[in-house]
Amino acid sequence: MEALEYLKNRLDKEQYEKIEKTKNIALYEFLAEYIELCNPSKIFVATDSEEDELYIRNRAIMYGEERLLKTAGHTIHFDNYYDQARDKEHTYILTPHGEKLPYLNTKKRDEGLKEIREIMRDIMKGKELFILFFSLGPKNSPFMIPAVQLTDSAYVAHSEFMLYRKAYEVFVNNPSLKFMKFVHSEGELDERNTSKNLDKRRIIIDLEDEITYAANTQYAGNTIGLKKPAFRLTIARAVKEGWLSEHMFLMGVNGPNGRVSYFTGAFPSMCGKTSTCMLIGERLVGDDLSFIKIINGEARAVNVENGVFGIIQGVNKEDDPYIWEVLHKPQEIIFSNVLIHEGKPYWTGMGEEIPCEGENHSGKWWCGKKDKEGNEIPPSHKNARFTVRLEYFPNLDREALNAPNGVKLSGMIFGGRDSDTWPPVCESFNWQHGVIMKGASIESETTAATLGKEGVRKFNIMSILDFMSVHLGIYLRNYLDFGKKLGNPPRIFAVNYFLKDENGEYLNSKLDKKVWLKWMELRVHNEVDAIETPIGYLPKYEDLKELFKEVLNKEYTREEYEKQFTIRIPRLLEKIERIRKIYGSMDNVPPELFQELDAEEKRLKETQKKFGDYVSPFSFL
């Protein structure tokens, strides 16, 4: 009970009683260790009460991490100009001996822990520490992962209240509760109340003790422990326990006669993930992270979170009506790294005239302003964000969001930005074929607007590569085995919203995705037939023609269909060769991967021999 005695001496009576009430010895020890290390001058323990949440919101204003905007409930937060995204270079997965793993930035565990402890010693001196209790996934459910966040940033604490389910009472009612742990300090702040010592910015992921550390950073992707830091821990735990923790939206697609079918979807950034799950007329459950477990023989899924931390660039009234509506109501919203002019937020691509002066992530801003590297500074950062509660969205499926056993998963969708290879929608032959040829083979082209050179294909297994914490081969083995445990696993689909013709014109309109979704919904119930091709099942023209009329009131011609669904054999064979080369350079890859690549290559070559390089879908009828 030494830890409890220490806490009694460090916390004031009211805060101590909140901690003592949990009767959780592991919690006492965790708190004592990191309070002693970080040495805050003040400590606040947040229960599930509205008063405690309001205290933290007010602290964010008082400490200058957020400022009030003109619309009631709206605040602005700025990160340091050079602290605007996840710091991949200084994010380390700790391994026992610093073993190198494909695509992972690893560090020897002893060295990593020693370094972060040195950086964090006395880092909270003169600051207030917030102790927070949350649940990843619905509380008191088979999906629940309890979590404790320590942070000296009221902005980070405020954000977590909007994004996750409060769980202090869960700890009080379960004294032996095991939990994930997150320790963050923004470090010393500059005159704009942004993190100063970016050379000592570190994000450390310790899988062994299920704890993450973040220091000298405020950007939410580095600091909100329950978001991407936790994601690395849950991926590793899922692999160990035989379930899936995925970078996937969760949505309900409305089918005939009031039926709802639930789908998850994994897309790299800027590939349609948000616009798909936010479609008008469908049901939003979550936009980013999903847990998938087998319950009573079914694959069931939940949204890990309770809110949205979304990219705001390009959000406009026409393309994103639900988000636009949410962002313009007087309710609790944190805008980050946008332009503020006369108390109102503005961002790139919003479809309105943007003032030529104001304040943004660079400080005072004017049109044509350049940074010290000579780069012109846009009104808002390309990674500027909005943080809101899911309950604000008019298309939220509240029942699905809070269902303790999640929702039955009918299908999984994998997408990427691909101008010349994949058709708009394709269903895999089976679980194994889908996991490997649709999910594990994702490539996405970079865009000139955001990443410099256009059209560079980047490999991104399941759109999860940036957050991977285990060997890719082990992750894939778990995926394949997961499907084998199910009598009727979810159907797997690939989509591509970015196919172009020979003149560089898009072959799909922005809203066509609604038709692909409706087709997938019918397929999972075997209510429409499909054409068998070397790469999987394609929709029949007659079914799509009917859906385009019914869903979009649009005529859909045979010529449009044929252009979109032509099998581009040379491009597909090139893709197989690229994917084979990527996995061929690794050890420990499941042999099924190479078997699927070989089998698809064989089917394509046989088809090529029979029909030529570019094969009309009508050839397979």
Cα 585 to Cα 472, 478, 580, 590: the distances in Å are 12, 20, 9, 13
367 tagged catalytic: no
Beta strand segments in 512-555, E: 530-533, 536-539
pLDDT tens digits, 248-259: 999 999 999 999
Residues of the chain with CATH 3.90.228.20: 245-307+399-620
Nearest CA to 571 out of 545, 532, 608 is that of 608
Could you tell me the pLDDT band of residue 453, with boundaries at 50, 70 and 90? low
> In this structure, what are the phi and psi dihedrals at residue 439, rounded to the nearest 5 degrees?
-85, -50
- Alpha-carbon distance of 384 to 221, in angstroms, equals 12
Contacts of 473 (CB under 8 A, 6+ apart): 586, 587, 588, 589, 590
Q: For domain 309-391, give its CATH number from 1.10.10.60, 3.60.40.10, 2.170.8.10, 3.30.70.3460.
A: 2.170.8.10
- Alpha-carbon distance of 281 to 354, in angstroms, equals 31
* Three-state DSSP class for residue 386: strand
**pLDDT value at residue 451:** 41
> b vs e for 306-334, b when ≥16 Cβ sit within 10 Å of the residue's Cβ?
bbbbbbbbbbeeeebebbeebbeeeebbb
Whether CATH 3.90.228.20 fits 245-307+399-620: yes
pLDDT tens digits, 591-605: 999 999 999 999 999
Tokens encoding 171? 């700890």
Could you tell me the pLDDT band of residue 449, with boundaries at 50, 70 and 90? very low
Tokens encoding 438? 């649709």
245 contacts 305 by C-beta, under 8 angstroms: no
Task: Work out the number of other CB atoms within 10 angstroms of the CB of residue 12.
Answer: 11
Q: Is the whole-model pTM more than 0.85?
A: yes
Q: Which of 38, 271, 277, 426 is catalytic?
A: 271
Its sign, for the CA torsion 428, 431, 437, 443, is positive
- Alpha-carbon distance of 256 to 258, in angstroms, equals 6
3-state SS, 12-52, equals CHHHHHHHHCCCCHHHHHHHHHHHHHHCCCEEEECCCCHHH
Tokens encoding 272? 């349609």
Q: Largest alpha-carbon pair distance within the chain?
A: 81
| Average pLDDT for 559-573 | 98
Contacts of 205 (CB under 8 A, 6+ apart): 91, 92, 93, 94, 212, 229, 232, 233, 469
- Alpha-carbon distance of 109 to 556, in angstroms, equals 58
- Percent pLDDT > 70 in the chain is 99
Q: Has residue 447 got a pLDDT over 70?
A: no
pLDDT tens digits, 501-546: 999 999 999 899 999 999 999 999 999 999 999 999 999 999 999 9
Half-sphere exposure of 521 (CA within 13 A, CB side): 21
Mean residue pLDDT across the chain: 96
- Alpha-carbon distance of 4 to 22, in angstroms, equals 11
Residues of the chain with CATH 2.170.8.10: 309-391
78 contacts 166 by C-beta, under 8 angstroms: no
Tokens encoding 141? 């459910």
Task: Work out the number of other CB atoms within 10 angstroms of the CB of residue 120.
Answer: 24
DSSP secondary structure string, 104-156?
--EEEHHHHHHHHHHHHTTTTTTSEEEEEEEEESSTTSTT-EEEEEEES-HHH
Nearest CA to 157 out of 234, 73, 43, 245 is that of 43
Assigned CATH topology for domain 2-65+83-241: Phosphoenolpyruvate Carboxykinase; domain 1 (3.40.449)
* Three-state DSSP class for residue 74: strand
Nearest CA to 447 out of 419, 415, 414, 413 is that of 419
> b vs e for 137-171, b when ≥16 Cβ sit within 10 Å of the residue's Cβ?
bbbebbbbbbbbbbbbbbbbbbbbbbbbbbbbbbb
Q: Has residue 450 got a pLDDT over 50?
A: no
| Average pLDDT for 335-345 | 98
- Alpha-carbon distance of 548 to 541, in angstroms, equals 10
336 contacts 162 by C-beta, under 8 angstroms: no
Q: Has residue 500 got a pLDDT over 60?
A: yes
Report the Cα 440 to chain-centroid distance in Å: 17
Could you tell me the pLDDT band of residue 452, with boundaries at 50, 70 and 90? low
**In the structure, how many helices (H) and strands (E) does the chain have?**
20, 33
**pLDDT value at residue 270:** 83
- Alpha-carbon distance of 265 to 442, in angstroms, equals 13
* Three-state DSSP class for residue 425: strand
Nearest CA to 338 out of 26, 76, 73, 68 is that of 76
Rounded to a whole number, what is the distance in angstroms from the first to the last CA of the chain?
Answer: 74
418 contacts 498 by C-beta, under 8 angstroms: yes
| Average pLDDT for 8-19 | 98
Geometric angle at alpha carbon 31, from 66 and 6, rounded to 5°: 120
Q: Has residue 130 got a pLDDT over 90?
A: yes
**pLDDT value at residue 269:** 85
